[in-house]
Amino acid sequence: MKKLLFTAALTLASPLLWAFTAADLAQMLQKPANVQGAFVQERRLKSLSKPMIAEGRFVLVPQKGLLWHMQKPFDNRLRIRADGIMQWNGRNWAADGGKMSGRSRQTGLLLDLLGGNIQGLEQHFELKLNGTPQKWTLRLTPKTVLMKQIFNHIDISGGSVVQRVELHEKQGDVMVMRFERVQAGRDLDEFARQAL
């Protein structure tokens, strides 16, 4: 009997046996005050032999918004917040005038992905999480009619922060975003502070 009680106590006390859940992932991704780094975005279109590649920097402040500063192949700054997408025109933030409305759902989805908004994701996707807090993968399979029309699935992977996102679109195109030199909790520069 003592042996059985000892085994049960050991099992309950071992954190390696506890499951890493989507709620745990959300809490971990929302923990830093901000996340900053570089990104490489590769878009593979079925109709093109070579991928289109964009590079730049990003700043994410969970619950507030995302600055997406593409530097190559051309300079473009977007601010994504709950109130919509705005573009920097060199002097101030301006509404897109409808030009980016087709991208708005995908960009809002990116905000949910990077910011760990699991509740927002669960509205549109079935979530399957594997791994540990140090190395995890999350597959999103569409469950709403709209998302089923756009995506086959989305794969996200990372550790304490998101490191890679792959969007597999219905028509066969794939977008891969890699996040590099990522730092959490670093002071924001003046531009980011004012924008977010």
SS3 for the chain, per residue? Answer: CHHHHHHHHHHHHCHHHCCCCHHHHHHHHHCCCCEEEEEEEEEECCCCCCCEEEEEEEEEECCCEEEEEEEECCCEEEEEECCEEEEECCCCEEECCCCCHHHHHHHHHHHHHHHCCHHHHHCCEEEEEEECCCCEEEEEEECCHHHHHHEEEEEEEECCCEEEEEEEECCCCEEEEEEEEEEECCCCCHHHHHHC
Structural domain contains residue 10: no
Structural domain contains residue 112: yes
Structural domain contains residue 178: yes
Tens digit of pLDDT at every position of the chain (196 positions): 444 444 444 444 444 445 788 888 888 888 888 889 999 999 998 888 888 999 999 998 887 888 989 999 999 998 888 777 888 888 888 876 555 444 556 666 777 777 777 888 888 899 999 999 999 999 999 999 988 998 999 999 999 888 999 999 988 899 999 999 998 888 888 888 888 8
What is the domain-level CATH number for residue 78?
2.50.20.10
Structural domain contains residue 107: yes
**pLDDT at residue 104, rounded to an integer:** 56
Total structural domains within the chain: 1
Structural domain contains residue 27: yes
Structural domain contains residue 15: no
| Domain carrying residue 78 | 21-195
Please choose, from the candidates 148, 149, 102, the residue with its C-alpha nearest in 3D space to the C-alpha of residue 126: 148
Residues 6+ away with beta carbon under 8 Å from 100: 78, 85, 87, 107
Structural domain contains residue 137: yes
Structure pTM? 0.79
Structural domain contains residue 46: yes
**pLDDT at residue 65, rounded to an integer:** 85
